C-alpha cells in the first residue's frame, strides 16, 4: 500500500528530528583550538614544572616562579618534559609554527630575526599556513598579539614602505601583506617587538589589515637609545596597555564564537609579554592590573620570595590564561549542547624560545636548570614549557616525555581535524598525536632540527639535531668572532650531548 505523501513527510521529519537530537549529544569531531605562546618564557618560569624531572635521571626542579593558573591547568593537562621551540629566536619559531617548515627554508637562512626596519614578509604567498589549513577545514581563525613574521605596509602607491623609520607609510591604506593574507580571518596586534630599542615599525595596533589610528599629524615620536624620537606612535600608545588589550580581544572573540553552532574556532594568542618590554627607564612595562587582577609587583617565586618586573610579565600571562580558562569553563558550547566550551577545546600553552635572562653557557633557574638561554642552542634556549589540554579526548594530569616541537603542531593539528597534508605542505612537521595519547609501541626517533641564527656580526649560526636521546650541535654555543685559524662559516665545533644525562 502506498503511504500518503503527508504521512511520509511526517515520518521523514520525525526521523530528521531524531537524528538531530542524537547528533546533539555527539561531540563535534573538530575541537576548538587555542595556542597561547608566551614570549621568552623558560621552563623555570612556571610552577607547572616545579618538582618535575626534565629527564629521568635529572634532579627535580627545585624552584620556579609561582604561576597559580598554569599550575592548576597542568593538573588536568599533559605536561611535556621535551617540548621544543624550533629555534631560539622569535621570528624563526613563529615561522615554523605557522608553516610547519624549518625557518632556514625562509629568507632568514642567514639571520634568525627580521630586519629592524622594512622587511620582506617571511611567509611566501604560495605557502599554505596552519590557519589557512584550519580555515579550509571550517574554522574561524584569529590571531592576537605579536605577529613577527613580517608585514608589508603601503607607501601610498601600492608598493611596500621602504623608509627605515616608516615615514613613507600611507596609514589609510590596508596592509599589503600581513596576518589576514596568511589565513587569519581576524587579527589584532603589533608587527614585531615594540618598545625595546630594536624594531622600528609604527607603534600603532593593527586590526585585520588596517592601522587602528591613521592621522599621521597627531602621532607622537617615541623610541629608546638610538631610536629616540624616531618611531611613530599612536597618541595613546602605552606599552603597558598591550596585555590587557589582547585579553579583551580574545575574550570578545570567544564570546562571538559562543553564538555560532556550526563553526569551530582557532585562537592564536601570542602576547608580547615577557619579551624585553621595557620603558625608557629600563624597567618592564608592567600593567597595574589585568581584568581586575593586580599584576605589578605581585610575582613571587615558589619559595614565596619576591620576584622582579620581568617576572611580573610572566605573571601577567599566567593571569591571562586563567581568565581565558574561566571563560571557557563557564560558557556553553554552542556546538555541543549540555557541555561547556572547555571540554572540546584543545589548548596548547608554550613559549617561543628560552628565557631572555640568565647565563649564556651555564645553567639557569629560568630555564628549569637547563644550560643556556634565549638565542642559544643549548637546551635552555629551545626546550620550553609545553602543556596540552583537551578534556574530552586527552587524559590529563600526566607527564609526557615524548618529543614535540612547535613545527610539529601543523601536522598534528591536521590529524586532529582530519586534513590530509599535500606533499608540499608543512614538509618539516611530524604528526605526534599518537604520542600524546601514549599509544605507540616504540619511542619517537624522528630527528628534530633546531636553529640559532643571530646573523651578522655574530658567527654563531648553528643548528642542533636531536634524535631519540642523542643531540648533535653543529657550530653551536656562543661564538662572537672566528676562532684563530678558523675560516668564517666552517664548522668550528661538534658536540654530542646525551640528552638522557642529567642536564
Residues 130 and 99 sit within 8 Å (Cβ to Cβ): yes
Nearer to Ca ion, 37 or 324 (CB): 37
Question: Any contact of residue 333 with Ca ion (CB under 5 A)?
Answer: no
Residue 248 has φ and ψ, to the nearest 5°, of -55, -45
* Beta carbon of residue 38, minimum distance to Ca ion (angstroms, whole number): 9
- Say how far apart CA 78 and CA 398 lie, in whole Å: 5
Nearer to Ca ion, 64 or 353 (CB): 353
Distances (CA, A) of 102 to 96, 106, 146, 256, 472: 6, 8, 20, 34, 17
Nearer to Ca ion, 198 or 421 (CB): 198
**Chain residue at closest Cβ approach to Ca ion:** 90
Choose one: 11-19, 348-356, 420-428, 465-473; the region binding Ca ion (CB under 5 A).
348-356
Residues within window 79-98 making contact with Ca ion, judged by CB under 5 A: 90
Select the residue interacting with Ca ion from 154, 316, 352, 444 (CB under 5 A): 352
Place of cell 642529567: 502
Question: Any contact of residue 199 with Ca ion (CB under 5 A)?
Answer: no
Nearer to Ca ion, 90 or 416 (CB): 90
Choose one: 32-40, 155-163, 376-384, 412-420; the region binding Ca ion (CB under 5 A).
32-40
Question: Any contact of residue 39 with Ca ion (CB under 5 A)?
Answer: yes
* Beta carbon of residue 108, minimum distance to Ca ion (angstroms, whole number): 14
Residues 243 and 36 sit within 8 Å (Cβ to Cβ): no
Question: Any contact of residue 353 with Ca ion (CB under 5 A)?
Answer: yes
Nearer to Ca ion, 179 or 355 (CB): 355
Number of residues near Ca ion (by CB under 5 A): 5
Nearer to Ca ion, 374 or 466 (CB): 374
- Say how far apart CA 178 and CA 127 lie, in whole Å: 14
Select the residue interacting with Ca ion from 40, 45, 318, 461 (CB under 5 A): 40
Nearer to Ca ion, 227 or 373 (CB): 373
- Say how far apart CA 333 and CA 254 lie, in whole Å: 11
Question: Any contact of residue 318 with Ca ion (CB under 5 A)?
Answer: no
User: And the C-alpha cell for 19?
Assistant: 537524528
> How many C-beta neighbours within 10 Å does residue 17 have?
10
3-class SS string, 199-261: CCCCECCEECCEECCCCHHHCEEECCHHHCCCEEECCCCCHHHHHHHHHHHHHHHHHHHCCCC
Distances (CA, A) of 400 to 17, 377, 396, 436, 499: 43, 22, 10, 7, 15
What does the binding site for Ca ion look like in residue numbers (CB under 5 A)? Answer: 39-40, 90, 352-353
Amino acid at each position: 500500500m502506498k503511504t500518503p505523501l503527508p504521512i511520509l513527510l511526517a515520518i521523514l521529519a520525525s526521523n530528521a528530528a531524531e537524528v538531530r537530537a542524537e547528533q546533539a549529544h555527539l561531540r563535534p569531531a573538530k575541537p576548538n583550538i587555542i595556542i597561547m605562546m608566551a614570549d621568552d618564557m623558560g621552563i623555570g618560569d612556571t610552577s607547572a614544572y616545579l618538582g618535575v624531572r626534565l629527564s629521568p635521571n635529572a634532579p627535580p626542579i627545585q624552584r620556579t616562579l609561582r604561576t597559580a593558573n598554569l599550575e592548576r591547568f597542568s593538573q588536568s593537562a599533559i605536561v611535556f618534559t621535551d617540548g621544543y621551540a624550533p629555534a631560539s629566536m622569535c621570528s624563526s619559531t613563529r615561522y615554523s609554527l605557522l608553516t610547519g617548515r624549518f625557518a632556514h627554508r625562509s629568507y632568514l637562512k642567514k639571520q634568525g630575526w627580521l630586519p629592524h626596519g622594512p622587511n620582506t614578509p617571511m611567509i611566501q604567498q604560495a605557502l599554505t599556513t596552519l590557519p589557512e589549513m584550519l580555515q579550509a577545514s571550517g574554522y574561524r581563525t584569529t590571531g592576537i598579539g605579536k605577529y613577527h613574521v613580517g608585514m608589508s605596509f603601503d607607501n601610498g602607491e601600492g608598493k611596500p614602505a621602504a623608509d627605515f623609520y616608516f615615514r613613507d607609510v600611507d596609514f589609510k591604506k590596508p596592509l599589503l601583506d600581513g596576518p589576514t593574507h596568511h589565513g587569519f580571518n581576524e587579527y589584532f596586534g603589533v608587527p614585531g617587538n615594540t618598545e625595546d630599542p630594536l624594531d622600528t615599525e609604527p607603534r600603532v595596533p593593527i586590526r585585520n589589515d588596517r592601522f587602528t589610528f591613521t592621522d599621521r599629524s597627531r602621532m607622537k615620536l617615541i623610541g629608546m637609545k638610538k631610536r629616540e624620537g624616531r618611531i611613530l606612535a599612536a597618541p595613546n600608545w602605552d606599552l603597558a596597555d598591550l596585555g590587557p588589550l589582547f585579553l579583551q580581544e580574545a575574550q570578545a572573540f570567544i564570546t562571538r564564537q559562543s553564538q555560532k553552532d556550526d563553526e569551530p574556532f582557532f585562537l592564536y594568542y601570542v602576547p608580547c609579554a615577557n619579551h624585553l618590554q621595557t620603558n625608557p627607564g629600563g624597567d618592564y612595562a608592567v600593567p597595574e592590573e589585568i581584568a581586575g587582577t593586580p599584576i605589578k609587583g605581585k610575582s613571587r617565586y615558589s619559595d614565596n620570595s619576591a620576584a622582579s618586573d620581568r617576572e611580573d610579565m610572566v605573571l601577567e600571562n599566567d593571569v591571562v590564561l586563567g581568565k581565558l580558562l574561566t571563560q571557557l569553563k563557564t560558557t556553553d558550547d554552542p556546538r555541543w549542547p549540555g557541555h561547556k566550551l572547555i571540554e572540546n577545546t584543545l589548548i596548547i600553552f608554550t613559549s617561543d624560545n628560552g628565557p631572555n635572562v640568565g647565563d649564556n653557557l651555564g645553567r639557569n633557574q629560568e630555564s628549569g636548570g637547563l644550560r643556556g638561554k634565549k638565542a642559544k642552542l643549548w637546551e635552555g634556549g629551545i626546550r620550553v614549557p609545553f602543556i596540552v589540554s583537551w578534556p574530552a579526548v586527552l587524559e590529563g594530569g600526566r607527564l609526557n616525555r615524548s618529543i614535540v616541537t612547535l613545527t610539529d603542531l601543523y601536522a598534528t593539528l591536521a590529524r586532529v581535524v582530519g586534513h590530509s597534508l599535500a606533499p608540499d605542505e608543512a614538509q618539516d612537521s611530524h604528526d605526534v598525536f599518537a604520542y600524546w595519547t601514549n599509544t605507540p609501541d616504540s619511542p619517537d626517533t624522528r630527528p628534530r632540527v633546531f636553529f640559532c641564527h643571530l646573523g651578522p656580526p655574530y658567527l654563531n649560526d648553528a643548528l642542533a639535531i636531536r634524535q631519540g636521546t642523542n643531540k648533535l650541535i653543529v657550530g653551536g654555543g656562543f661564538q662572537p668572532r672566528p676562532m684563530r685559524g678558523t675560516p668564517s662559516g666552517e664548522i668550528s665545533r661538534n658536540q654530542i650531548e646525551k640528552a638522557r644525562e642529567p642536564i
